[in-house]
Structure 1
């Protein structure tokens, strides 16, 4: 039966929306992209994002809840790998392609995925906010 002839499946739609929400965050998209190429521990993923391990673990928990990543424990380390998401990532890259049809760096394959991910989407470094200390306002 073709797509037009199928009846609406509310549960499938809810699952699809949950997957899209999980991938909608840039950090989670980058994690999924890296994990689609190789299994990595949380510490390496945190380094890839330029984020703390705790923040990275929270992103991974959301991806795991959406069924996009799986984990395994080896001693005290937890390793993550992506579920079958290549089609999702390929479609996202295709949809994100500029209107002129130019290929973006995200769609390009790379021999070293962790290096490529860092080069393609280097995180913006933020300075920590210090509570209680404000700069005085300056007049121009």
Structure 2
């Protein structure tokens, strides 16, 4: 049987829930979104978020503990980036799930979740391809 059909063990479920809890904060989601585009220093992230460096550092510590970001030191600056492309995939899947209508509900013009993501995601000047789910056969 494939991996999708197998039952999760308790430890696997706990790790998955811890990861989702780490992302389940608007500031941390926005930080991950920004870091999925480029490596940035804490000060730059704080400026982008409109928050204090100490607050951003606390959020980054939680993301680092969850294994979602990694850091490197260059002199007195600490730079962060996502731990891999799987993080961007997680963010895109969350945005798709938030935009999907509930089963049996009429499809709204724009869901509240998608609107919230659009308002909170950093505006970047780049042409991003639309997120698509992989085709499985």
Q: Is the 8 A contact 2:30 2:122 kept in 1?
A: no
Which residue in 1 is equivalent to 2:43?
A: 43
Q: Distance in 2 between matches of 1:115 and 1:28?
A: 16
Which residue in 1 is equivalent to 2:29?
A: 29
**Larger Cα Rg: Structure 1 or Structure 2?**
1
Q: Distance in 2 between matches of 1:101 and 1:38?
A: 33
Per the TM alignment, residue 7 of structure 1 is displaced from its structure 2 partner at its CA by: 3.3
Per the TM alignment, residue 70 of structure 1 is displaced from its structure 2 partner at its CA by: 0.2
Q: Distance in 2 between matches of 1:20 and 1:71?
A: 20
Q: Structure 1: which 5+ residue stretches go unaligned? A: 108-112, 118-140
SS at match of 1:51: coil
> Aligned to 2:93, which of 86, 91, 94?
91
Q: Distance in 1 between matches of 2:94 and 2:81?
A: 19
Which residue in 1 is equivalent to 2:12?
A: 12
Which residue in 2 is equivalent to 1:134?
A: none
Q: Distance in 2 between matches of 1:38 and 1:51?
A: 19
Q: Distance in 1 between matches of 2:109 and 2:94?
A: 15
TM-score by length of 2: 0.72
TM-score by length of 1: 0.71
SS at match of 1:67: coil
CA RMSD of aligned residues (A): 2.2
Q: Structure 2: which 5+ residue stretches go unaligned? A: 102-106, 126-137
Which residue in 2 is equivalent to 1:60?
A: 60
